[in-house]
Structure 1
Amino acid sequence: MAQFSLKRDAAATEEVAAAVNPAPLGLCAFALTTFVLSAANANLFTGASIVIGLALFYGGLGQLLAGMWEFRMGNTFGATAFSSFGAFWLAVAATLQLKLVPNETAMGFFFLGWTIFTGLMLIASLRTNFALIGVFLFLFLTLLALTIGALGGGSAFTVIGGWLGIITALVAWYTALAGLLTTVKAPFGLPVGPRP
């Protein structure tokens, strides 16, 4: 299969790739948006609609942009993950803003689809590092709990999903910070674990 490519100076391409890593942006956008909605799901506050702005502009648009930049860098995994979860947050924002959920079962199938997708991403992440595997593992568990709760398992699963989502956000922030520290003259670094 032929691939479209722009001819560039190899040294310039390597310099740009080494200087710019969109993954910390994508992870931070994911973490903050996940943290806020998960805190509402964990019953730490009421008014989950506060997440709409974040889901549109940071979790949605921010991750979508990070995903497009990952495509530009040739990182299929990062491009797929960030673009997809950017679209996820845009869908969540639209669903909340336009009140598109007819019933809990419909939301359950929405979560089920994302649980399956996250399971695929978890499998694909197994050749990355432990920090990134942790993000996808806890996200998978979060979405699984939300799916069970929405498909009749009871509100306790939604609360469990909220707490798992908070853990997911913390792991994503850690992973983002580890990536950021490699781009600045930081006095320390954070381990992410070797490639399994």
Structure 2
Amino acid sequence: MDNDVSAGSATSTSTLGHLALGLTLLAFGVGHTGVIDNVAAADASALATWVGGVALFIVGLLEFRAGNAGTGTAFSGLGAFWFTWGTAVGAEVSTEAAGLFLLLWALLALTLTASSAGSGLFGQGVYGLLCVSLLLLGIASFAESGGLAKAGGWVGAVAGLAAWYGATAALAKWPTFSGRAAGRGVTATG
């Protein structure tokens, strides 16, 4: 009897990671927009902690195990971000500390954007939009600007939709914006 446990295929773990990232980003972004009554970004903290944090971090580790350092770094790093953000919601911190937190994590998103050059809309696009969202939210925190925070929320929601669509396209073999249908040698990232 074989006691080895498979980490799953790279496509399945990558798709799961993009779904987790997409749903978390969408909830986080919509919460910042104020578009739904009585729903704030803080309401996404449980989703951010468990889906965006723990699940995404585990998927990142599985990606590392499968030899995919790029997606392993992305999912593990973003899992750490979401877990930290989700568990810190409600903590007493200054607006400057919150802004600095967001700007520092925007650096991770910038690194992910640069490292995913050539991966198409669902790789570089999602990370680029995440970077812009975190920059806007960080600056909004420093400036105490609700309008800028809403703009950052909308950018985050669009990033979440893009990540969700990329993962869904990979599972459903829907067309991607690369001109090919996902599932024919094309992953959720392009």
TM-score range, shorter chain: 0.7 to 0.9
CA distance in structure 2 between the aligned counterparts of 1:121 and 1:86, rounded to whole angstroms: 13
Corresponding residue to 1:179 among 170, 174, 181? 170
SS at structure 1 position matched to 2:176: coil
Specify the alignment match of 2:76 in structure 1.
83
Give the superposition deviation at 1:55.
Answer: 1.3
Specify the alignment match of 1:70 in structure 2.
63
1:7-40 C-alpha deviation (Å, 9 max, x unpaired): xxxxxxxx98657520111111111111112111
5+ residue gaps in structure 1? 1-14, 182-187
**Equivalent residues of 2:132, 2:152 under 8 A apart:** yes
Identity %: 28
Give me the TM-score of the superposition, normalised by structure 2. Answer: 0.83
Tell me how many residue pairs correspond in the alignment.
175
SS at structure 2 position matched to 1:62: helix
Specify the alignment match of 1:154 in structure 2.
145
CA distance in structure 2 between the aligned counterparts of 1:16 and 1:56, rounded to whole angstroms: 22
**Equivalent residues of 1:175, 1:192 under 8 A apart:** no
Give the superposition deviation at 1:48.
Answer: 3.2
Give me the TM-score of the superposition, normalised by structure 1. Answer: 0.80
**Equivalent residues of 1:178, 1:192 under 8 A apart:** no
Structure whose CA Rg is larger: 1
1:1-196 pair list within 5 angstroms: 21-45=12-36, 46-96=39-89, 99-152=90-143, 154-181=145-172, 188-193=173-178
5+ residue gaps in structure 2? 1-5, 180-188
CA distance in structure 2 between the aligned counterparts of 1:114 and 1:39, rounded to whole angstroms: 19
With over 3 angstroms needed to count, the CA separation of the structure-2 counterparts of 1:17 and 1:58, relative to structure 1, is: closer
